[in-house]
Structure 1
Amino acid sequence: MIKSILIKNIVLIEKLSLELENGLLIFSGETGAGKSIILSSLGLALGRRSEPGLIRNSANEGSVSIEFDIKEDHPAFIKLKDLDLIEDETLILRRVLNNSGKSRAFINDRKVTLSFLRDIGSTLLEIHGQNEKIGLLDPSSHLAILDKFGDYKELLIQIKEKYAICQKLEKIYYEANKIKENRMMYEEDIKNKINLIKNLNLQNNEEEELSNKKNLLNHYEKIFLSINEIYSILNDDNGNYNKLASNGNKLEKIISASGKLPEIESIVQSLNVILIEAKEILGNINLLKDNFQYDEKEIEDIEHRLFDI
């Protein structure tokens, strides 16, 4: 309930202090006596929008204070207690206006925002005039009114606690399902990877062999150009192999006819070794030519296989 109202420098009022009692209170008087000023002042203290010209002409600022006596189970008390803005059951709302149009709001002499003052004020007092919406007719207030009338405070606390437990259990259930889903997805991914590896049918050193073959195919043109040149040098009609073999035979005949010539025999022996190795080179070149052909599709197949591996 409202215990007192203090109005300073608002419109015609220089200072007005009212002490209120329990029960029905009526302010009566002729038109223009100042009843509406009191109502406007109450609205200011509750955080309502201020109108121009509210400050008394001879003053620099005006103020309105309302002192309430509220119980500890009141919504405003609970909210203010959480913010350390109230200690006992006494609550004072104060609003100060100045000539510049700015205002300051206070709760128990602690500065607060105007929106917070309005939020707290809306739970303490209703002010309505003709054609204004009365709180009792507001459907959003009916449930709270019914609960208060039925004295369901303890029941509401129990329901609130049980609802909080349900929410917590629901969160745990959701998180457990999420973990289960993630585990199943992980297991499925592992199975797919294992099957993929099995289907690859990997062979020993396959990756290294494929990489070497790919490298060889990528340099096919340069490699075989060089090999063909070597082959031509050694094996064409005027090739060095035939010349070496022919001259070697001539030297052997000379040695046979003239007797032992150790220096020449050493040269002939070395020449025979060279001819044998040259012949092996020619054989390897022919084998490579027969077994290795450039195939662009084979390169693509190798690249795909290496990618899978």
Structure 2
Amino acid sequence: MLRRLEIRDMLLIDRLDLEFRPGLNVLTGETGAGKSILLDSLGFVLGWKGRADIVRRGAGRGEVVALFELAPDHPVRAILDEAGLPGGDELILRCVKPADGRRSSFVNDRRVSGDVLRALSETLVELHGQQDDRGLLNPRGHRALLDAFGGLDPARAQTRAAWTAQREAARAREAAQSRLDALRAEEEYLRHAVDELDRLDPQPGEDAGLDGRRRAMQAAERIRDDVARAAALLGGDGAEGAMSEAMRWLDGVTADADEALEAPLAALNRAMIELGEAQSGVDRALDAMRFDPGELETAEERLFAIRALARKHDVAPDELGGFADTLRDRLSALDAGVTGLADLAAAEDAAQAAYDAAAGSLSAARATAAGGLDTAVAAELAPLKLDRAQFSTLIAPAEPGPDGRDAVAFTVATNPGAPAGPLDRIASGGELSRFLLALKVCLAGQGGSVTMIFDEIDRGVGGATADAVGRRLAALAADGQVLVVTHSPQVAARAAHHWRVAKQVENGDTVSTVAALGDAGRVDEIARMLAGDSITDEARAAARALLEG
């Protein structure tokens, strides 16, 4: 609800502070007094498109501040939270524009973009008038208005849930199909690679083991002949035989050598023991160097095969086993993919059927609601002197989406037999205003806590019709807030709060002023609206009668 509007140096207004209230707030005044300036200023702070030369002539900048009071469940709170802006029970919008610059907008003292400001304004204010392109004349909002009128939120929520489930099922099936297609594209490679790896069956650590064995056999092949020659020189035909022969000769003469040969013989005995150990070690080395030449060839072939396969698949030799497991898993996924894809396709079909059922039920409910809305609007048109006109809610097929598969448009035919068409193309200015009012009355309660503004919506009507307009505006404002710019005394008489806009010259400058009217002031203003500049007693009496009626 709009509670306060402060305007500084905008068009013909130098300084103006207005306190608005719940109920029907009416702004009256002579033509050209500046009533539209108030709406221009409000639109300025709300981020609406408007005239570029809005700053008052001679002023350095213009500024407008609007204070809104927010209900606990007002949708503005969610927008503020999403935008990271401070919240509370009050919302303060401020917009500043230098005379030669661009405007800057602030929400609760935080600078905001035009997108955020417009998102807020759409939940704060509804403007209805003969050039209404933000409210009921915008066909993009007709479906939501029909759903709200028919109380179809549960059916629409069910349709949205079914749409989400159908899209998720379709995405799951498409992803599975994509994965299966990719696997099928490499199926031949997978089966060949797995067969090749299975036949070779490389084991972890096998590469290092084969390489070590191969190096050992290659080394043995190079040195075994030399080691064998050394073994021969150490054996019976070599050092061992010579030392044994020497010991035999010395042993035969030791007794005659007066103990002179005992030490040499002891040394030879020790040398024979060391020689025996050396000979045993060389023999063991020779045994270790014995291998089948075919074994070296076999080891080399397997080693080269493992390394070639590792290079082929760009993995380390020890990773070939794990790589083979990965390829087997992909083959298993390929084999299982056909069955899984069939299951996902069945799930998608079921989700599509559920969406079709929900959307069909919503379409049927919309058709019923459309009939109810048409009847309700028709009942409102007669008192507004539009009893020959026909209002129709047209429902046509549309592309399926989260809100169903219906396009909704409000159409009118102003005379029997005349073709129906969009509101703003068929109805004249006065008729359009009354159509909008009738429709808004029928949709009362569907706008939430929005402030409704009607800009001269009563233009071109008078008498009983203007009285009917006033009564309906008052009914709309009973549980909310309605601002009306009007020239109709019958409408002004229904106001809960009345302001008079006037234009005057101060110090050579033309300025607009706004004054809140009390009971006496309202009588004079309505009398002026009835009789013109010369207010007679009869006009005042007629004004009192309107106010009392």
Aligned twin of 2:215: 218
| Residue of structure 1 in register with 2:542 after alignment | none
Per-residue CA distance 1:39-69 (angstroms, 9 max, x = gap):
4222102123565432122222222344556
Answering whether residue 241 of structure 2 is matched by residue 242 of structure 1, we say: no
TM-score by length of 1: 0.56
Name the counterpart of 2:299. 298
Alpha-carbon distance in 2 for matches of 1:142, 1:7:
34
Give the structure 2 partner of residue 9 of structure 1.
9
Q: Which of 220, 224, 229 does residue 226 from structure 2 map onto?
A: 229
Distance 1:67 1:270 in 2: 116
CA offset at residue 6 of structure 1?
4.5
Task: Kindly provide the CA deviation profile for residues 174-210 of structure 1, in whole angstroms up to 9, marking residues without a partner as x.
Answer: xxxxxxxxxxxxxxxxxxxxxxxxx9999xxxx8xx9
2:60 maps to which residue? 60
Contact 1:7–1:63 (CA under 8 A) maintained in structure 2: yes
1:252 paired to 2:241: no
- CA 1:201/1:16 → structure 2, altered by over 3 Å: closer, same or farther? closer
Matched residue, 2:117: 117
> Residues 149 and 86 from structure 1, CA distance in 2 versus in 1: closer, same or farther, beyond 3 angstroms?
farther
Distance in 1, matches of 2:118 and 2:271, equals: 114
CA contact 1:104–1:111 (8 Å) conserved in 2 = no
- Deviation string, structure 1 residues 244-303 (Cα, Å, up to 9, x no partner): 524642552464367555525435544554565565456445534544657153256589
| Partner AA of 2:228 in structure 1 | Y
Give the CA deviation at 1:145: 2.7
Corresponding residue number in structure 1 for 2:544: none
Deviation for aligned residue 1:232: 2.0
2:101 & 2:15 partners in 1: Cα distance? Answer: 20
Change (3 A) 1:71 1:145: farther
Structure 1 residue 122, shift from structure 2 partner: 1.8
User: If you compute each CA radius of gyration, which structure gives the higher value, 1 or 2?
Assistant: 1
Pick closer, same or farther for the CA change 1:48–1:227 going to 2, 3 Å. Answer: same
Query: Do the aligned partners of 2:96 and 2:103 also contact (CA within 8 Å) in 1?
Result: yes
Matched, 1:87 2:89: yes
1:173 corresponds to which residue?
none
Gaps of 5+ in 2: 166-200, 307-316, 322-549
Q: Is the 8 A contact 2:235 2:241 kept in 1?
A: no
Alignment check: 8 A CA contact 2:127 2:135 kept: no
Aligned to 1:172: none
Q: Which has the higher contact order (CA 8 A, sep 6+)?
A: 2
CA deviations on 1:114-172 (whole Å, 9 max, x unpaired) are 5343322222324477776342243443354345545789x79xx79xx8xxx9xxxxx
Structure 1 CA distance for aligned equivalents of residues 80 and 247 of structure 2? 122
Distance 2:147 2:141 in 1: 10
Paired with 1:102 and 1:247, the residues of 2 have a C-alpha distance of 117
Tell me the matched-pair count: 264
* d(CA) in 2 for partners of 1:298, 1:122: 81
Q: Distance in 2 between matches of 1:290 and 1:245?
A: 26
Deviation at 1:84, TM superposition (A): 5.9
What amino acid does structure 2 have at the position aligned with 1:60? G
1:101 aligned counterpart, secondary structure: coil
> Structure 1: which 5+ residue stretches go unaligned?
168-198
Distance 1:245 1:11, change over 3 A: same
The farther-off stretch of 68-77 and 52-61 is 68-77
User: What RMSD, in angstroms, separates the aligned Cα atoms of the two structures?
Assistant: 5.4
Conserved 8 A contact 1:10-1:54? yes
Instruction: Provide the rounded CA distance (Å) in 1 between the counterparts of 2:275 and 2:101.
Output: 114
Paired amino acid for 1:98: P
Which amino acid letter does the alignment assign opposite residue 225 of structure 2?
A: N
Equivalent of residue 24 in structure 2, options 18, 22, 31: 22
Residue type at the aligned position of 1:40: D
Contact 2:9 2:63 in 1 (8 A): yes
For the residues of structure 1 that align with 2:71 and 2:253, how far apart are their CA atoms? 141
Corresponding residue of 1:175: none
C-alpha distance 245-79 of structure 1, shift in aligned 2 (>3 A): closer
Amino acid at match of 1:113: V
The answer as to 2:73 corresponding to 1:76 is: no
Partner of 1:40: 40
Tell me the distance in 2 between the aligned counterparts of 1:221 and 1:40.
98
Give the number of the structure whose residues are more often strand, by fraction: 2
> Are residues 270 and 95 of structure 1, via their aligned partners in 2, closer, same or farther at CA, if it must alter by over 3 Å?
closer
Residue identity (%): 24
| CA separation of 1:130 and 1:151: change in aligned 2, threshold 3 A | closer
Structure-to-structure mapping, 1:197-216, within 5 angstroms: 215=212
3-state SS in 1 of match to 2:64 = strand
Residues 43, 127 of structure 1: 8 Å contact kept: no
Secondary structure of the residue that 1:135 maps to in structure 2?
coil
Other structure's SS at 1:22 match: strand
C-alpha change, 1:253 and 1:17, in structure 2 (3 Å) is closer
CA distance in 2, matches of 1:18, 1:232: 121
Report the secondary structure of 2:238's partner residue: helix
What SS does the aligned partner of 2:24 have? coil
Listed as ranges, the matches of 1:146-295 within 5 Å are 146=146, 148-149=148-149, 215=212, 217-222=214-219, 225-235=222-232, 241-242=237-238, 245-246=241-242, 248-249=244-245, 251-253=247-249, 255-256=251-252, 259=255, 263=262, 265-267=265-267, 269-270=269-270, 272-273=272-273, 276-277=276-277, 280=280, 283-284=283-284, 286-291=286-291, 293=293, 295=296
Q: Label 1:104 to 1:291 Cα distance change in 2 as closer, same or farther (>3 A).
A: closer
